[in-house]
Amino acid sequence: MSSQIIEKLLEKYFEGDTSLGEERTLREFFQKEDLPAHLVELREQFGLYDKESTEELPGDFDEVLFKEIENRERSKKTSRRAYILYISGVAASILILITLFVRFDPFTNSTRYDEHEADIAFTEASRILYFVSAKFNQGANPLGKVARFDEGMKNLNTVNKFDDGVKKATPISRFNQITKLITNPAP
């Protein structure tokens, strides 16, 4: 194959426009012993691509990946729930203290209340607690989506497409490393 055709394929390759067949042609070309002098330095780069394409992920990669995803989701779910409970507890405590301070003013000497005032205080406290409960339930509703997401994650058993994508992306990362080495040679 002529070096002009190879140089055109190399231009397409470095622009990311080559097909798998063209890339295979380039790899086969660079395995030859007699290369033009200006293309010899690319032999090592394409040799690394061949070496990297034979490497595989460990057998337990899927399990490790799913365990890590589950651990992160659990920690987010736990921290959100704890935060909501903490905030609602603080809000309820503040409302109770305000209600007690307003209804039982410590600066007045009158400590006797009739039955009607006690009913009003009970009604007011009940109304406030129902309000806090409604706000708490409203804040906890989005957690149902997290539970639905967890159920969806349990249904995923394979990552074959992900594995294929990772295998296809591995040469790109190696290409970036080699390109950096070529453009910035060590002193």
Q: What is the mean pLDDT of each run of 10 residues along the chain (187 residues)?
A: 80 86 82 78 74 68 83 75 88 90 68 77 92 84 72 61 69 73 70
Residue 121, token pair as written in the block: 């205080």
What per-residue confidence (pLDDT) applies to 13? 85
Residue 157 CA: distances (Å) to CA of 63, 65, 152, 162, 185: 9, 11, 10, 12, 45
* CB of 81 closer than 8 Å to CB of 122: no
* CB of 13 closer than 8 Å to CB of 39: no
Whether this model's pTM surpasses 0.95: no
